[in-house]
C-alpha cells in the first residue's frame, strides 16, 4: 500500500528474534503512519506479542532496523520507548493492585509531573472526561472492574505526549458495551493524530476500527493491506493459511435425559468481593450444549467453582445423573464422569511448571493410568501424546512445561485432556478466550463432537457469537441470578442483552417454571 502522502511514524524492517527452539519473528516489516489505526493480525504464536515487545523495548531484536519518525534508533528499554511517545496497554495489565489509580499513573510519569498528586488527580479526571472514560483517581486498583483497569492503562499512556499507542488484544476482556466505548475513545485519539497499533483476533473489530493491517503467520509477515478494502474472509485466510475451514454451522441438538440439575442452588462466598448466588434452578440434558452468557463478575466464577467442587454446598442442590453431588470433592465428581475446563489456564487448568505429561495425570488420575498404587508413566505419556496429536497442540514435546505453551495451544491441550476422559458432563468456562481462529474452530468442533456422543455440556462465555454458534439452549447470568433458558433460535440478541443486564421480563419472578417447560 502506498503511504507516501502521509508521514511515516514507525518503520520496522528485517526484524528477527529467535528463542531457543522457536523463531518468533523472521524478517518482519511493519510500517505505521501518523494518525493511522493499524491492526496487527495473526494467530497465537504468530509472533505478534514478540513484535510488540520489541517496539516497546521490552525485548531486543536479534537483527533488524527500527526507524522512529525518520531516525534509525536503538531501543533501550520501555523507559526509552515512553520518552519517544510510545505507550502500551498489555493484555495482562501491568497495574499495581495495592496502589490507587493516581499512584499507578504517577509511577509511570516523569518525577516532576507526579510530585503534586492533587494536580495529577485533576489531570486524570480531565483526560478521562475528554476521552469519555470514567475514572476515579482515588480508588484502589484491585477494587476496579477489568474494563476500568484497562481505562487506567490507557489514561496512563495518554497523560504523556503520546504518538503511538499499542493495544494488545484490548477487547478480549470487555463487554460489548465497553468495547463500543473503547472504540469511541480510540477513534477520537486517532483523529487527533496519534497512531494506534491494535492487536486482535476479532476481524469484525479490525474492519470497524482500522485503516491498515499487517498480518503475521508463523513469525513471518504475510502482507500489509487495508481492512476496509478486504473482506473478513480474506483477512482470516491470510492469518490461518489456506487449509483451515473457517466458518462452521453446527446442527442444533435436542438432547435427551436430564444429566445435571441445579435445585435451588444458593451460595454466599467468603470473599467479600464475590457474588452471592440466589436460588439457581437449571436442567442440562445429555447430548446438548447449554450456553450461559453474562458479563464477567456476575457469578460465573462462583457457579463454576460450585460445579467443579472447588466450593461445596448442600448435597441435594446439585444433582448429576441422579446422584446428589453438591457436597462431593472435585475428585469424587470426576469419578462420576464430570470434567471441567476452568477460565484460568495457568494455575487452575494446568500447573505452569509441570510438564504436559504431569498435567495430564493431574485431572485423569482416576483413569486407567495407575496399577496397585503405582503410576504407569508409559501409559500417561502415551495418553499425553494422543492428546497433543489429536488436538494439534504445538509444543516441543510432551515433556514441555505447561507455561511454555502459548495460550491457545495450552487451551487445546486442556480441552483435549478433559474431553478424552469421555465425561458425561463437561463444564467449560470461556473455552476460546484469547484463542486464535484456527484453535477456536478446533475447540468448538471437539465440543460439538462430544455433545453428539451424548455428553451434557455447559459453556460459560462472554463471547456471544460463539454461544449462538454452538449452544443448543442459551441463558444468561446476572448478579448471581439465572435468566430463563430457552432454545437458542428462540432467543434474539436483544433479549439476550436484556437478560445479561438482569431484565428477565415477566419470567423472572419464577425462572424455574420456564425452565421445567423445556426440560
* Positions that interact with another protein (CB under 8 A): 53, 56, 58-60, 77-80, 82, 88, 90, 93-99, 103, 106-108, 111, 114-115, 140, 142, 156, 272
Do β-strands 164-168 and 86-89 pair in parallel, antiparallel, or remain unpaired? parallel
Q: Which is nearer to another protein, 60 or 489 (CB)?
A: 60
State the nearest-atom distance from the C-beta of 123 to another protein, in Å.
16
Burial class (CB in 10 A: 0-12, 13-18, 19+), 2: exposed
State the nearest-atom distance from the C-beta of 103 to another protein, in Å.
6
- Whole-angstrom distance between the N-terminal and C-terminal Cα of the chain? 56
What value does the CA radius of gyration of the chain take, rounded to a whole number of Å? 24
Q: Which is nearer to another protein, 31 or 95 (CB)?
A: 95
Q: State the Cα–Cα distance between residues 463 and 453, nearest whole angstrom.
A: 25
**Backbone φ and ψ of 45, nearest 5°:** 80, 5
Q: State the Cα–Cα distance between residues 501 and 68, nearest whole angstrom.
A: 45
Q: Which is nearer to another protein, 401 or 508 (CB)?
A: 401
Cell numbers for 203, please give them: 476481524
Q: Which is nearer to another protein, 120 or 230 (CB)?
A: 120
Place of cell 510432551: 398
Q: Which is nearer to another protein, 99 or 321 (CB)?
A: 99
Q: State the Cα–Cα distance between residues 454 and 61, nearest whole angstrom.
A: 50
Virtual CA dihedral for 210, 211, 214, 215, nearest 10 degrees? 60
Q: Which is nearer to another protein, 160 or 258 (CB)?
A: 160
**Backbone φ and ψ of 213, nearest 5°:** -150, 145
Which of these, 152, 27, 17, lies nearest to 90 by C-alpha position? Answer: 152
State the nearest-atom distance from the C-beta of 96 to another protein, in Å.
5
Q: What letter would DSSP give residue 203?
A: H
Which of these, 173, 174, 153, 175, lies nearest to 165 by C-alpha position? Answer: 153
Strand order in the sheet with 86-89: 86-89, 164-168, 195-200, 37-41, 212-217, 220-225
Cell numbers for 338, please give them: 464430570
Q: State the Cα–Cα distance between residues 394 and 340, nearest whole angstrom.
A: 22
Report whether 59 contacts 17 (CB < 8 A). yes
Q: Which is nearer to another protein, 103 or 382 (CB)?
A: 103
Q: Which is nearer to another protein, 151 or 156 (CB)?
A: 156
In residues, how long is the chain? 519
Q: Which is nearer to another protein, 121 or 483 (CB)?
A: 121
State the nearest-atom distance from the C-beta of 406 to another protein, in Å.
16
Report whether 435 contacts 405 (CB < 8 A). no
Q: Which is nearer to another protein, 59 or 450 (CB)?
A: 59
Q: Which is nearer to another protein, 114 or 258 (CB)?
A: 114
- DSSP element (H, E) containing 340: strand 338-341
State the nearest-atom distance from the C-beta of 182 to another protein, in Å.
20
State the nearest-atom distance from the C-beta of 53 to another protein, in Å.
8
Q: State the Cα–Cα distance between residues 505 and 500, nearest whole angstrom.
A: 12
- Residue 311 CA: distances (Å) to CA of 9, 189, 213, 235, 347: 52, 45, 45, 43, 17
Amino acid at each position: 500500500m502506498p503511504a507516501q502522502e502521509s508521514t511515516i511514524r514507525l518503520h520496522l524492517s528485517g526484524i528477527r528474534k529467535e528463542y531457543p527452539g522457536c523463531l518468533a519473528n523472521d524478517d518482519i516489516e511493519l510500517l505505521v503512519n501518523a494518525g493511522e489505526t493499524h491492526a496487527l493480525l495473526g494467530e497465537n504464536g504468530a509472533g505478534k506479542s514478540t513484535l510488540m515487545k520489541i517496539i516497546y523495548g521490552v525485548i531486543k531484536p536479534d537483527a533488524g532496523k527500527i526507524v522512529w519518525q525518520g531516525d534509525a534508533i536503538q531501543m533501550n528499554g520501555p523507559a526509552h520507548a515512553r520518552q519517544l511517545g510510545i505507550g502500551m496497554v498489555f493484555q495482562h495489565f501491568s497495574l499495581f493492585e495495592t496502589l490507587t489509580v493516581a499512584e499507578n499513573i504517577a509511577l509511570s510519569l516523569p518525577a516532576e509531573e507526579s510530585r503534586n498528586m492533587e494536580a495529577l488527580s485533576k489531570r486524570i479526571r480531565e483526560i478521562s472526561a475528554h476521552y469519555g472514560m470514567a475514572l476515579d483517581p482515588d480508588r484502589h486498583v484491585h477494587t476496579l472492574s477489568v474494563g476500568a483497569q484497562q481505562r487506567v492503562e490507557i489514561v496512563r499512556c495518554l497523560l504523556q505526549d503520546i504518538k503511538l499507542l499499542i493495544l494488545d488484544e484490548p477487547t478480549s476482556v470487555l463487554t460489548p458495551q465497553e468495547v463500543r466505548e473503547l472504540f469511541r475513545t480510540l477513534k477520537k485519539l486517532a483523529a487527533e493524530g496519534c497512531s494506534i497499533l491494535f492487536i486482535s483476533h476479532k476481524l469484525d473489530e479490525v474492519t470497524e476500527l482500522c485503516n491498515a493491517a499487517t498480518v503475521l503467520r508463523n513469525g513471518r509477515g504475510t502482507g500489509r493491506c487495508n481492512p476496509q478494502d478486504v473482506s473478513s474472509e480474506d483477512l482470516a485466510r491470510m492469518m490461518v493459511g489456506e487449509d483451515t475451514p473457517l466458518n462452521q454451522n453446527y446442527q442444533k441438538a435436542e438432547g435427551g435425559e436430564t444429566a445435571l440439575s441445579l435445585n435451588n442452588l444458593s451460595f454466599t462466598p467468603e470473599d467479600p468481593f464475590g457474588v452471592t448466588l440466589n436460588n439457581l434452578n437449571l436442567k442440562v440434558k445429555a447430548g446438548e450444549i447449554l450456553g450461559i452468557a453474562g458479563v464477567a463478575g456476575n457469578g460465573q466464577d462462583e457457579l463454576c467453582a460450585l460445579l467443579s467442587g472447588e466450593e461445596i454446598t448442600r448435597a441435594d442442590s446439585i444433582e448429576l445423573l441422579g446422584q446428589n453431588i453438591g457436597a462431593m470433592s472435585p475428585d469424587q465428581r470426576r469419578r462420576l464422569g464430570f470434567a471441567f475446563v476452568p477460565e484460568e489456564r495457568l494455575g487452575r487448568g494446568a500447573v505452569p511448571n509441570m510438564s504436559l505429561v504431569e498435567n495430564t495425570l493431574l485431572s485423569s488420575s482416576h483413569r486407567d493410568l495407575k496399577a496397585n498404587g503405582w503410576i504407569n508413566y508409559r501409559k500417561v505419556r502415551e495418553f499425553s501424546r494422543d492428546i497433543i496429536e489429536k488436538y494439534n497442540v504445538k509444543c516441543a514435546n510432551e515433556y514441555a512445561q505447561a507455561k511454555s505453551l502459548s495460550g491457545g495451544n495450552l487451551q487445546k491441550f486442556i480441552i483435549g485432556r478433559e474431553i478424552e476422559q469421555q465425561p458425561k458432563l463437561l463444564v467449560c468456562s470461556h473455552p476460546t478466550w484469547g484463542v486464535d481462529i484456527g484453535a477456536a474452530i478446533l475447540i468448538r468442533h471437539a465440543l460439538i463432537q462430544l455433545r453428539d456422543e451424548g455428553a451434557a455440556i455447559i459453556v460459560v462465555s462472554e463471547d456471544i457469537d460463539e454461544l449462538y454458534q454452538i449452544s443448543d439452549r442459551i441463558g444468561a447470568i446476572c448478579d448471581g441470578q439465572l435468566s430463563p433458558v430457552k432454545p437458542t433460535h428462540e432467543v434474539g440478541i436483544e433479549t439476550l442483552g436484556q437478560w445479561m443486564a438482569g431484565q428477565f421480563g415477566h419470567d423472572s419472578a419464577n425462572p424455574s417454571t420456564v425452565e421445567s417447560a423445556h426440560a
